[in-house]
Amino acid sequence: MDRERYSDRISNYGSEAMNSEFMKNLVEDVGEAKEEKPNKAFQVGFAVGMLAVAVGTFAVEAFIFSAVATLLGWPLTFMQGAGIAALFELVVVRLKNGQ
């Protein structure tokens, strides 16, 4: 293989497989990194995004409930499907909280 490329890792007698200086330098670099807190704009954007995803998921659940009920022969409106989805979410939250 390419002996010039790997010659600094292997000793003359083959007893030392690798030099540990690379790992020590890597650990020092990772240890020096500081944890940065997100700024206010990111926090507001994250909160708005989470709210949009929650409302969108709720709307999709309401649509699915009303569509499945309509396919089964029970004509439900979107608002009736939203009521069923809200009841389902309430049951899930209560089960998670142990009430």
pLDDT in tens, 32-89: 556 778 899 999 999 999 999 999 999 999 999 899 999 999 888 889 889 988 998 8
Q: Which residues neighbour 80 within 8 Å (Cβ) at sequence distance 6 or greater?
A: 66
Record the pTM.
0.56
Quote the pLDDT of residue 37. 85
The more confidently predicted of residues 14 and 29 is 29
Strand ranges, E, within the chain: none
Which class for 80: exposed (0-12), middle (13-18), buried (19 or more C-beta within 10 A)?
middle
pLDDT of residue 11: 52
Handedness of CA 71, 77, 81, 84 (dihedral sign): negative
